[in-house]
């Protein structure tokens, strides 16, 4: 009888005072490649971590590796976030640090990080070269880890894992932050290593999966439930429509017709040019879609607008009718902007409750802040109710399912009804139902005169209210257009 590659018996796990996995049993046989999807918070990541003996669980996880395979007899887990450190082994980074060049020697370069990984696992760097090329990451070798966007961090993780080629490979949300071409190339590589002996487990609700995937399941009631096809995997419940809080049912107070204007703006780090001669105007009430492949300059462009990039002062940039560097403070800028991004999420204060996370939007802080006023408390409560977060308001934000975390951060973004909303890949890691929920809220907000910049790769996962598009490639504008019809 064929032995399973992975045999899980009576696996139990509690997290944040809740039972996540309950007497879970699962066998993975040679030739099987799985997608584990399902509702947010159902225990998908917890199961993946348990397989690789991370976290405190009860039960048994046994492996039967093939001694004839010329690849490591291990199960390798790629987490949703890349937990890199500085040169001293510390993870105490701050949100704006990636743009401050005096910090550039604080972390390894991509190349040095990969070399360290390769030496640890006795790998030949030449075997990593095709993976770097397929993921469009060759030109990032000398970039510091702290300088990378969330999608670029994901590529570092994927290059390491695909280069290693373990006998069992578990990828948790592998498509997070990747552009369309990188996703297609990733699936091709996964198909190849699956065909040559690696057992694949994907933790995802993304519909665009590798052809090698032939088994499907979700977690229900703490146990694994196998289904016949991808479309039968459970999704989060559809949102019950609620009216927006009254304070958001009005256009923000705007004192200038043009909120953003960039005139021939370039950004360079030494010999590396990140943005080249950017001209862009965003008028009040417009809803812009910002697109481009990983490394095209999107994150840098947004950092010029929200006050986080020091080179903004040396450029011809006008925000809210005032030229940068003409006497305004960074807080004058942030007061008028609400922003959500993967980086802000990653760096967010781990001690913040949901309530405090939303309240911090009044003060443009991700840490502690001044005493919240009575009217502000009322607005917080209204948003907690609107996003169905009242029962979670005293919980630590990072203990919530990812979907709820993103909704709480959207609430933080809109709490002051800002003149400009910047939503940078806000639906990373969310399933189709959660994404539809999130974008429906964005469309409701847009109906009340909001000005929006929205970063997203997939046209099928965008709000319908977007009316302009800016596309970057290699730091240059290749498309700037009015969208006559919905982008979806």
* pTM of the entire predicted model: 0.84
Scored b (16 or more CB within 10 A) or e, 318-350 reads: bbbeeebeeeeeeeebbbbbbbbbbbbbebbbe
> What domains are defined for the chain?
6-232 (3.40.50.300), 246-482 (3.40.50.300)
| pLDDT for the residue 284 | 95
| pLDDT for the residue 368 | 55
Residue 203 β-bridge partners:
36, 172
Query: DSSP letter at 29?
Result: -
Q: Which two tokens mark 451?
A: 């000005």
What does the alpha-carbon distance between residue 385 and residue 370 come to, in Å, rounded to a whole number? Answer: 23
SS3 339: strand
What does the alpha-carbon distance between residue 364 and residue 276 come to, in Å, rounded to a whole number? Answer: 29
pLDDT classification of 95: cutoffs 50, 70, 90: very low
What does the alpha-carbon distance between residue 186 and residue 280 come to, in Å, rounded to a whole number? Answer: 33
| pLDDT for the residue 485 | 58
Scored b (16 or more CB within 10 A) or e, 183-213 reads: bebbbebbbebbeebbbbbbbbbbeebbebb
Kindly compute the dihedral angle of the four CA atoms of residues 391, 392, 395, 397, in this order, to the nearest 10 degrees: 180
| pLDDT for the residue 478 | 94
Give 121-145 pLDDT, tens digit per residue.
999 999 999 999 999 888 888 888 8
Mean pLDDT value across the chain: 86
Pairing of strands 287-291, 272-283: unpaired
Burial zone of 368 (CB within 10 Å; 0-12 exposed, 13-18 middle, 19+ buried): exposed
**Does 24 have pLDDT greater than 90?**
yes
State mean pLDDT over 445-462.
Answer: 87
**Does 34 have pLDDT greater than 70?**
yes
Spatial CB neighbours of 298, under 8 Å, sequence gap ≥ 6: 149, 290, 291, 292, 424, 455, 472
Among residues 408, 396, 393, 389, which one has the least CA distance to residue 350? 396
Give 75-92 pLDDT, tens digit per residue.
999 988 766 555 544 444
Q: Which two tokens mark 152?
A: 């670029």
Query: DSSP letter at 105?
Result: T
| pLDDT for the residue 93 | 45
Q: What percent of the chain has pLDDT over 70?
A: 90
- Cα-based angle 99, 102, 103 (whole degrees, multiple of 5): 70
pLDDT classification of 421: cutoffs 50, 70, 90: very high
Spatial CB neighbours of 447, under 8 Å, sequence gap ≥ 6: 465
What does the alpha-carbon distance between residue 486 and residue 488 come to, in Å, rounded to a whole number? Answer: 5
What does the alpha-carbon distance between residue 159 and residue 1 come to, in Å, rounded to a whole number? Answer: 35
User: Is residue 76 within 8 Å of 110, Cβ to Cβ?
Assistant: no
Burial zone of 11 (CB within 10 Å; 0-12 exposed, 13-18 middle, 19+ buried): buried
User: Is residue 80 within 8 Å of 173, Cβ to Cβ?
Assistant: yes
Give 250-305 pLDDT, tens digit per residue.
989 888 999 999 999 998 877 778 899 999 999 999 999 999 988 888 988 998 88
């Amino acid at each position: 009888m064929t032995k399973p590659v992975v045999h899980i018996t009576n696996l139990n796990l509690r997290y944040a005072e809740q039972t996540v996995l309950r007497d879970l049993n699962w066998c993975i046989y040679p030739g099987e490649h799985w997608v584990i999807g399902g509702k947010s918070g159902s225990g998908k990541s917890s199961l993946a971590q348990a397989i690789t003996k991370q976290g405190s669980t009860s039960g048994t996880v046994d492996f039967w590796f093939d001694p004839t395979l010329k690849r490591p007899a291990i199960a390798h887990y790629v987490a949703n976030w890349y937990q890199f450190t500085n040169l001293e082994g510390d993870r105490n980074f701050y949100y704006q640090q990636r743009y401050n060049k005096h910090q550039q020697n604080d972390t390894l370069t991509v190349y040095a990080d990969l070399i360290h990984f390769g030496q640890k696992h006795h790998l030949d760097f030449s075997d990593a070269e095709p993976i770097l090329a397929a993921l469009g990451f060759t030109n990032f070798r000398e970039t510091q880890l702290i300088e990378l966007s969330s999608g670029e961090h994901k590529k570092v993780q994927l290059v390491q894992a695909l280069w290693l080629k373990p006998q069992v490979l578990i990828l948790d949300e592998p498509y997070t932050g990747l552009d369309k071409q990188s996703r297609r190339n990733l699936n091709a590589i996964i198909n190849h290593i699956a065909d040559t002996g690696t057992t694949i487990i994907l933790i995802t609700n993304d519909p665009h999966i590798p052809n090698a995937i032939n088994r499907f399941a979700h977690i229900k009631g703490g146990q694994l439930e196998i289904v016949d096809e991808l479309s039968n995997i459970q999704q989060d419940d559809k949102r019950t429509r609620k009216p927006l809080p009254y304070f958001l049912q009005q256009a923000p107070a705007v004192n200038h017709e043009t909120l953003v204007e960039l005139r021939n703006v370039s950004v360079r780090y030494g010999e590396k040019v990140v943005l080249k001669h950017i001209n862009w105007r965003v008028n009040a009430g417009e809803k812009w879609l910002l697109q481009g492949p990983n490394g095209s300059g999107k994150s840098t462009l947004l950092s010029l607008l929200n006050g986080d990039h020091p080179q903004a002062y040396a450029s011809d940039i006008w925000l809210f009718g005032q030229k940068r560097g003409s006497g305004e403070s960074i807080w004058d800028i942030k007061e008028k902007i609400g922003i959500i991004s993967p980086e802000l999420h990653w760096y967010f204060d781990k001690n913040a409750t949901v309530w405090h996370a939303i309240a911090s939007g009044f003060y443009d802080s991700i840490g502690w802040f001044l005493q919240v006023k009575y009217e502000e408390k009322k607005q917080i409560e209204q948003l907690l109710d609107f996003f169905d977060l009242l029962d979670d308001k005293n919980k630590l934000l990072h203990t919530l399912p990812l979907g709820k975390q993103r909704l709480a951060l959207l609430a933080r973004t809109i709490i002051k009804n800002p003149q400009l909303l910047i939503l940078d890949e806000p639906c990373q890691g969310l399933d189709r139902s959660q994404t539809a929920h999130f974008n429906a809220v964005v469309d409701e907000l847009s109906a009340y005169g909001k000005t929006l910049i929205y970063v997203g790769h997939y046209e099928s996962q965008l709000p319908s209210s977007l009316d302009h598009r800016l596309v970057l490639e290699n730091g240059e504008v290749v498309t700037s257009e009015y969208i006559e019809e919905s982008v979806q």
